[in-house]
Amino acid sequence: MKKKDLISIRDLGKDEIENLFSLAKKMEGAAKSGKKFFNDKIVFNLFFEPSTRTNLSFQAAAARLGCTPVAFNPQVGSVQKGETFSDTIKIIDGYCDVIVIRHALEGSARFASQIAEHPVINAGDGGNQHPTQTLIDLYTISKIKGKIKGLSVHLVGDLKHARAMRSLLYGLGMFGAEVTLTAPVGLEMDPAIINEVKEKFGTKIRLTGKVDLKDADVLYVCRVQKERFADPYEAEKIKKEFRINPEYLERAKDDMIILHPLPKIDEIPEEVDKSKHAKYFEQARNGIPIRMAVLYTVLGGSGA
C-alpha cells in the first residue's frame, strides 16, 4: 500500500487485493482461536458522520488483533469550539498508530493522510470512496461464487451518491466482471468513472433504467441516500420505484446472490431477507476479517 495509507481502491493493485483476501482468511481463523498480533497499538476511529457497521467493525477488528480501539465523537470534541480539521488530525496523530476516518467532504481522507505521520484509512469521504467496503464486497463475492471474473454483476439504485458503488465498479473491472448499472434518471453513475473503468480494464458495462435480473449472478443494491438530497420528497419517490420486491426474484437465477452495503431501509423488504438469495448479513460479517487484514497490513504486522 502506498505510504501504508488506504484512501482509494486505486491505491491497490490486483495482487495486493488478493494478498489481503488470503490474509483475511487467516484472520477468520485467528478471530476464532483468539490469537493476537499486537499489544501496543492504538487505532483511532475519527468519524464525523454516523456509522454503525464500519465504525463498530473497525473497533472489533482492532480489538481482535490485540490493538486498543478508541472512538472519537466530534460532537463533544474541540471541533465544536472551532478547531480546524488539520489541527484535529495533527493532535490525534500524536495519540495513535492508525487513523480510521469518515468525513462528509470528498478528499478529506487524502488530506488527512498528507498531514498525519501515521497510516490513514478512508472509511468513507462524502460520495467519493469507501475502499474497505469494496474489499468486503469483492471478498464476499469470491467466497460465495468461487470467482469474480466473468460474473454478471448488477449495481442497482442511487449510483450518483453512493461512494460504495464508485469503489466497487473499479474493483469489479479490475477482477474481470461484467457490470450492469441500473439507476433512476438523474442518479446515474458519473460517466468519468465509467469511462475510466472501461479504458483501464476493458470492462463490459451496460447502462439501464429498468431492473431486469434474468442474467444476474450478483445483485448489489444501494439505498437512496435521503441525507444527500435537498428534496426529501423526491428521494421518497425514487425509493419506491427501485424497491426490490420478491417478484423480481421469481425471474432471477437460482444461485443469484443479493448484496447491500447496509443500512437498508425499505429498498429490500423483510421478506427478501428470508430468501436463499440474501447474503448481505454474511457480507457485513466479512467486515471483521477484511478490516483485520487491512489494519494488520498498514501496521506492518508479521507472523500471520
Catalytic residues, which ones? 53-54, 81, 102, 130
Question: Residue 117 — φ and ψ, nearest 5°?
Answer: -85, -25
Q: Give one DSSP letter per residue of 7-64, joined into a string.
A: --GGG--HHHHHHHHHHHHHHHHHHHHT----SS-EEEEEESS--SHHHHHHHHHHHH
Q: Beta-carbon neighbour count of residue 13 at 10 Å?
A: 11
Residue 249, amino acid: L
List the beta bridge partners of residue 47: 102
Instruction: Print burial letters for 45-72: b (CB count within 10 Å at least 16), e (below 16).
Output: bbbbbebebbbebbbbbbebbebbbeeb
